Amino acid sequence: MKLIRDASEIIAKTLGEQAVGQDEAVRLASWCVAVPAGDGGVLLLNNFTKELILIDDGDGLSGLHDLKETDSELFCYLSRHWFTVPVALDDKNLVDEVRSVVSCMNKPEGIVGYTILTTTDCNARCFYCYEQGLERVNMSRQTALDTAEFIKKTAGKKIKLHWFGGEPLFNSSVIDIITDELKKSGIEYHSTMTSNGYLVTDSVVKRAVESWNLKGVQITLDGTEEIYNRRKAYINPKGSAFQRVLDNIEKLLQAGISVSVRMNLDMDNADDLHKLCDLLADRFSSYEKFGAYAHYIFDGKTADSLYYTLDETYIELEKLRSYRRDKIYKCSFKVFYYPVPA
């Protein structure tokens, strides 16, 4: 017998050597492929372990299917290396089990994603905000440094950071601190953000590209100008918040950052979201990295009453949402779902 190729190290380690009792009936495993090779020889591939051997001292293929000499060196080798298995073994089940163990072993070590609230404060006052009633607190410089330390200790090789709030840009200096620290320690990262989009400026875009490695932002629009401005109720807005956010979406897209517009849907704004789709299509459908989707407003107070609205309106809303989805398709921009693609 000649070894042509060794078994895969990780599979061999996981399986170990097979111990088959001398009196146990065995058969060729279903993952083996045998082809005649030369004068009575057989090339035998174990498709599970990837080991390949040449048997040149046997009775050819027929010998392999009639494995009787349980004390022969070849018989023992084939058993130990999983070419043969007990007759009653469930081959598929064993392969599934080993694959699942190997896939766990192959997972990158450490944490691969972090969601970071830079603040619980916000410059808007949406009636549905999940943070209503919570204390408005900004992450401090020290907490940002501690956060970076925690990431350094626990991170895998490549990580994704998601900036969340409140409005994460309301306290964007801590994003600089955390990403600067990660950069210094050589951790590979990219980030995404959930934002209302109002505080995006040229300087923010520059930092987002150069330091934050920001790949995508999800921005909520609840309707066209009048409805949006009323529902978001920004504190001290300068001019129309709606127009400002549209301009900011364009800034992000021009910098190559994906923008996914979430259209919060309830019974009051459903018709207006239809108009919003047209408006977004006119302005943004030429951008590859622009997308949108509609989603209900939900309260999240209880598991079975997920949505903000009453149960009886749920079916009606579901209809409106699919209608909106069709509309989005017709407007020829992508339907992105949360989280935005990197």
How do the residues of the chain divide into helix, strand and coil, expressed in percent and rounded to 5? Answer: 40, 25, 35
Strands 188-195 and 155-164, sheet pairing: parallel
**Closest Cα partner for 263 from 229, 234, 240, 297?**
297
* 70, 25 Cβ separation under 8 angstroms: no
* Residue closer to ligand SF4, measured from CB, 126 or 331: 126
Q: Tell me how far, at minimum, the Cβ of 223 lies from ligand SF4, in Å.
A: 14
Nearer to ligand SF4 (CB atom), residue 93 or residue 132: 132
Q: How do strand 298-302 and strand 290-296 relate by DSSP bridges?
A: unpaired
Measured from the CB atom, the residue of 125 and 319 that comes closer to ligand SF4 is 125
Q: Which is nearer to ligand SF4, 60 or 237 (CB)?
A: 237
Residues that bind ligand SF4 (CB under 6 A): 122, 124-126, 129, 131, 165-167, 196
Task: Provide, rounded to whole angstroms, the least separation between the CB of residue 302 and ligand SF4.
Answer: 20
Q: Where are the alpha helices (DSSP H) in the chain?
A: 9-15, 60-64, 73-80, 91-106, 141-154, 173-184, 202-207, 225-232, 241-254, 270-284, 311-330
Which is nearest to 32 in space by CA: 71, 64, 67? 64
Q: Least separation, in Å, of the C-beta of 92 and ligand SF4?
A: 49
CA distance 280 to 261: 9
Q: Smallest distance from the beta carbon of 48 to ligand SF4, in angstroms?
A: 52
CA dihedral 232, 235, 240, 245 (to 10 degrees): -60
Nearer to ligand SF4, 219 or 270 (CB): 219
Cβ(327)–Cβ(281) below 8 Å: no
Q: Which is nearer to ligand SF4, 65 or 136 (CB)?
A: 136
From the CB of 132, what's the least distance to ligand SF4, in Å?
8
Residue with smaller CB distance to ligand SF4, 64 or 169 = 169
Q: Minimum CB separation from ligand SF4 for residue 179, in Å?
A: 22
Smallest gap, in angstroms, from Cβ of residue 321 to ligand SF4? 19
